[in-house]
Each structure stands twice: as C-alpha cells, then as structure tokens.
C-alpha cells in the first residue's frame, strides 16, 4: 500500500472515531441542551473539514442527516406555527419538549 493511501485511511479512521464518539454523546448524555447538540454537530463538521478539506458536501450528505435524526428524536418540537399544538401552547409558539418530557 502506498503512503498516500495509508494516510487517507488513517484520516478516515479518525473521522469515523470522531463521528461515532459525538453521535454516542448525543444519544447518551441526558443533560445536553439543544444548543449544545447543534454545537456538537458543528464541531464534528469542522473536524471533518480539517481531515478532508473541500469535502463538505460529503459530510452534509452522509453525516448531517444522522446527527439531525438524533437531535430531532431528543428534542421534539410541539405546536409549530399552525397553532394546532397542545392546548396550553399559544398559536404560533414553539415549545421544545425534551425526550424525558421536561419542558425546555
């Protein structure tokens, strides 16, 4: 195997490690806020840019949906702008409900 290929494989392993650790953090750390969750996504994206400059579109295609799915599952948006949310939610008001049913 030539050195360039070995180096690319090393960077790919590092990216997988960073993505897997941050994905697990999003799934398992129960006291994360919505902002902290998006910061984790942002920092993971930056790590990918550092490892693979110019490949932002690949990260957006492969990893962003994976992270957003976890964030959506943890932080449910109730209500929305239609006003058809829970009875105690004013029309046009967004309410973030954490997965543990506490209101944030």
Collapse the DSSP code of 16 into the 3-class scheme (helix H, G, I; strand E, B; otherwise coil) and give the result. helix
Positions of E strands within 54-100: 75-79, 94-98
Backbone angles phi, psi at 98, to 5 degrees: -75, 160
How far apart CA 90 and CA 96 sit, in angstroms, is: 13
Radius of gyration, CA atoms only, the chain: 18
Largest Cα separation within the chain, whole Å, is: 64
Q: Tell me: the pLDDT tens digits for 56-101?
A: 999 999 999 999 999 988 887 554 444 444 445 454 444 555 555 4
Nearest one of 44, 46, 8, 12 to 26, comparing CA atoms: 44
Q: Tell me: the pLDDT tens digits for 16-39?
A: 999 999 999 999 998 999 999 999
């Amino acid at each position: 195997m030539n050195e360039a290929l070995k180096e690319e494989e090393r960077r790919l392993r590092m990216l997988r490690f960073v993505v897997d650790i941050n994905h697990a953090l999003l799934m398992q750390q129960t006291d994360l806020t919505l902002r902290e969750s998006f910061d984790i996504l942002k920092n993971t994206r930056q790590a990918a840019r550092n490892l693979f400059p110019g490949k932002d579109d690949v990260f957006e295609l492969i990893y962003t949906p994976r992270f957003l799915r976890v964030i959506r599952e943890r932080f449910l948006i109730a209500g929305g702008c239609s006003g058809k949310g829970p009875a105690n939610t004013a029309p046009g008001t967004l309410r973030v409900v954490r997965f543990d049913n506490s209101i944030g």
